[in-house]
Structure formats: structure tokens, C-alpha cells
Amino acid sequence: MASYGLHERRLVIGLDYGTTFTGVAFATPYGRTCTLEEIDAVAEWGAQMDNLEKVPSVISYSAPTIAMEQQWGSSLSPNATAMVHTKLELDPSSLSDEMDLVLQSLDGMKNLNFRHIKGAIGFNGVPAYTYKSPEEIVTDYLAKVFQYLLKVVEGFSYELRSTISTDIVVTIPTGWSYSAMNSTFRALTNAGFNQSYFPRLRDVIFVTESEAAAIYTARYLKSQLGREFLKVDESFVLCDAGGGTVDVVSYTVTQLNPSLQLEKLGEPTGRKCGSVFINMHFKKWLRDHIGEANYKMLDPNMEENKISSHSVEGKAMRELMKEFDDQKQRFDGEMKEDIRIDLPHPLQHLSIAGKVNKGEIAIPWQVNFADLIFTN
């Protein structure tokens, strides 16, 4: 890692590419210290975006409509086929995951049927169910993110960027394989986070999401309380539950001043068991609940139990999962009534005795846990 003079101005870019949401921020501190107030997160993502500090980790290769959707983040055309959960595809953690990737690739191409592949060619010669690898899809997505970062830092002319030292800090899940780290590095480099744009780029630093969360949380609470709430030799456990992975790590505080220093206790652990897996099991429950024929009208790709090449969502499933996510975020564990969700078109009038009433399904608050076996 590069060392810096006490009064040397530098540019630090932080990239948090997540399974469901992504954020990017920058700061221009002197030396190695930086306050939270000096960090600026990108929150302007252009037309038809929600313009929040996090943007959905979604991209589509479908054609935009006359409304000229950006086809990434939250700006998708109504009938777009959206690539989702691609981050997890960078790290097939087992032989079964790799085999699943191959099998779904063959399924998506109808076992290499040339007539099907030719018929699937769409906008700009690119099929909606893209032939690109996960790394290439991540590159395309991060290139969109980079474009808006560049707009924010336009005040840094090329001449200035040629003189200011730059570091790029990237968060990764605990236990992220070397292969996945290499893919992440190549994707962000090819997307624009490189020396072509930042001639004095010194380091690209990978930091685990749990470590970044621990340091930020400690500093944020200190700034809110106006005092130290941690003590030297005190230990704490941090659980970082994200969209794709959940990481748990323990730390001991070894120093508070002049800067916070933490020491890991034991080895951090992480698993692919984030919130997207709740969504996957909801899809599995829904398929069993309304029947395969009805379910296929919502999800022609039938991917409720796959994170492979590639996980996609169409219009109807995106609408349904948005409503499910809203309900999921409101759930507090104390609710003792069924959760009711309206099915989107074309099932908005569906009725199945005891299961669906004019397009409305009820998720029972009393669950048979034997039906909720999570196998990842």
C-alpha cells in the first residue's frame, strides 16, 4: 500500500458493488486521514432514476422504448429482460454451481439450436438473454456507474487528475475467492476505473464488506454521540447481512486515537444466504402455490432456484418482487396476520379455491418450517 505525506492531497474512490444495490463515493483528503463529512456519495444517476445513493445492480440488453430508458438501475423499459444477481455468478463456489452455470447456458440457448439463437437476436444485434459472461455483464454495469462518477468529478480536469494521487477501494464479501477477486478487478478496470482516467492511480485496494461496515459504523456512531462509545480491549461482533451474502466477524479495539484500529478475532465467516435467497424461496413457494402453468406466465425463465448464467427477471416478475420486497422490509417478526399481495398482469384476475382470490394471494403468518429448508 502506498504511503502519503502529511499534507499531500489525494483522491480516494470507494466502490461498493452489491448483489442488489451499488454505491460509489469519493473524497479528497490530505494524507491518510478523512472525516465522514468529507465523503461525497454519487446520487445523480440521470433520467428516470430514483437518484438515491444506491442504485439497483441491474442491467438489461433489451431495446429501450421511445421513452429512451437507460436500461440499467431503476430505468428499465416495461418489457425489458433484466440481468439480476450477476455478482454472485462471479464466484461459483462449488462444482455444482459451475455445472448449474453450464446447464442453464445450454437451456437458454435451447441446447445450441442455431435457429433459436438466431431468432433471439434483438437490439443492436445483442440478444435479450445475453451470451456475455458474468464478468462482461458486470463490466457493462460498472461502466454505467463510472460514467456518473466521472460527471461528479468533472471538476478534476485531466491535468489535475494527472497530478493528484488516486486510490480505489473496493468492497468484497468475506471469503470471496481469488478467482472472483480477479474477475471483479478486471471488470472494474475495463469499466473505467483505471490509469487511463486516473494517471496517478497508486492502489486498487480490496476490503471485506464486514470490515468496511465495522469501521464506518464505529466512526458514524462516534460522530452522532459526540464521544467515543468503544473502549480499548473491548470486543464486538458485526453481522453484515446483504442481498447476496451474509458476513459475520468479531473485532477487538486496539486503539482509539489518533485513529481507530481494530484487530480481527478468529476468522471472518461468510455465506451466500442474503436476502435474494428469501426472494428465491418466495418464488419457489409461489410456484407450488399457484401451479407451474400459472407461475410460468409470470416467470418464463423458471429460475426460482438458480443463481447462474444468467438470473433474469421480466416485467411481471419485477413488479411482483417489488411488492414482495416492500412487504419484506416492513416485516418485523411480530406480525400475526397474513401478508396479502396482488399478482400482476396476466394473473390479476386469477382465482384458485383456498389459495388465490381475484388475483390476491395470502402469505400465511404461521409457517411450516419443514417447508423452508434453505439449501445453497
Judgement on whether residues 32 and 179 belong to the same structural domain of the protein: yes
CB 365 within 8 A of CB 338: yes
Q: Would you call 145 helix, strand, or coil by DSSP?
A: helix
pTM metric for this prediction: 0.84
Judgement on whether residues 179 and 216 belong to the same structural domain of the protein: no
Judgement on whether residues 202 and 220 belong to the same structural domain of the protein: no
Element (H, E) at 329: helix 315-330
Tens digits of residue pLDDT in 52-81: 899 999 999 888 999 999 999 999 998 888
Judgement on whether residues 128 and 28 belong to the same structural domain of the protein: yes
> Among residues 271, 289, 320, which one ends one of the domains?
271
Confidence of residue 28 (pLDDT cuts 50, 70, 90): confident
Mean pLDDT of 173-198: 94
Judgement on whether residues 340 and 261 belong to the same structural domain of the protein: no
Please, what sign has the CA dihedral across residues 318, 323, 329, 334? negative
Place of cell 399481495: 341
Please, what sign has the CA dihedral across residues 153, 155, 158, 163? negative
What CATH number does the domain containing 162 carry?
A: 3.30.420.40
Judgement on whether residues 85 and 189 belong to the same structural domain of the protein: yes
Rounded-to-integer distance, Cα 304 and Cα 295, Å = 10
Q: Is residue 356 part of a domain?
A: yes
Q: Would you call 341 helix, strand, or coil by DSSP?
A: strand
What's the pLDDT at 337? Answer: 84
Mean pLDDT of 128-145: 87
Number of domains within the chain:
3
Place of cell 499534507: 7
Judgement on whether residues 56 and 171 belong to the same structural domain of the protein: yes
Which three cell numbers, joined as nine digits, stand for 121? 437476436
Q: Is residue 2 part of a domain?
A: no
Q: Would you call 371 helix, strand, or coil by DSSP?
A: helix
Judgement on whether residues 220 and 193 belong to the same structural domain of the protein: no
Judgement on whether residues 287 and 342 belong to the same structural domain of the protein: yes
Give the Cβ contact number of residue 33 at 10 Å. 11
Judgement on whether residues 264 and 288 belong to the same structural domain of the protein: no
Which residue would you say has higher pLDDT here, 163 or 309? 163
**Structural domain of 67:** 10-208
> Among residues 178, 193, 208, which one ends one of the domains?
208
Judgement on whether residues 163 and 303 belong to the same structural domain of the protein: no
